[in-house]
Structure 1
Amino acid sequence: MDVLPLDRQVCFALYTATRAVTGRYRPLLDKLGLTYPQYLVLLALWERDERTVKDLGAALQLDSSTLSPLLKRLEATGLVARERRTDDERSVTVRLTEQGEALRTPASGIPARLVCDGGLDVGELEELRDTLVRLTAALQRQGEIDAGAVHG
């Protein structure tokens, strides 16, 4: 059996699914004045406010060179505030403003729209998420092993 046809590739299925999901989110987030990456930052802060940039980066799996411009744009729109920590000048804390917290209510209906529009029930979506989390963790572990073999 030929393993190279495009429609047999997990990577392509993930790529097209990601594009479809973010494309479905776009009009919903446009109403809130947010991009998808900005929405992810707010989700992390709605889950736990007043996080360091380092902690946010870990939660979102983003490096600081990607996260910093996102935070600057969110700060410019008045949704978050960034403050240098007094106990460690190298560390910056990010917190929601009242305006950022106020977006939580209108944003709370967005995940349900994906359930309605996605053609899968909640259990199937949870199973898919859990499978993707396991896949991501396994690939990251293997990447760390491979990187150790190269440098070790």
Structure 2
Amino acid sequence: MTQTSPLASAYAETPRSRCEFYRRVCSLPTVIDPATGRITMRAGFVGAVMMPTDLAQRVKIRLDLRGVAPLPIIGHPRAHMWTFLVRSDIRPIGDPADEARLWKARVVVIGDGDIALPSPAPDALMVRTWVSPAISKFRPSGSVVLECARECLLRPSPQ
């Protein structure tokens, strides 16, 4: 019979402990779905910008070069998308061509609704994971993330 040491079980991560970490350390208003262990938060003070992985990688490089860090980024491996958690400071896009460019590139701004976060609950489908984990209260400006996405879309990616 194998026994788990009290020390090991004290550090076992659960959806509840992860949710508490998100709340206390990262100031994210998270809740847990008791049936699934899924951790979500309501967009509002915190928003998100979602985009395809290839574009998101280029955006992350631009943000890194600007010294914007740490970047909380959720990966969606099956969908080949990344979601940047951001401050909700995004203003409406005025230029129709700019809006069309972002729409065509599948860049989505989430300013309302639920945002799902990675959970330690077993996820056989690998639906979401951290590319760059939330480790503090810092979130980049949503406007700056969109600005970097626009810059990347105006310049073709190096092949």
- Fold agreement, TM-score > 0.5: no
TM-score, L = length of structure 1? 0.28
Query: Larger % of strand: which?
Result: 2
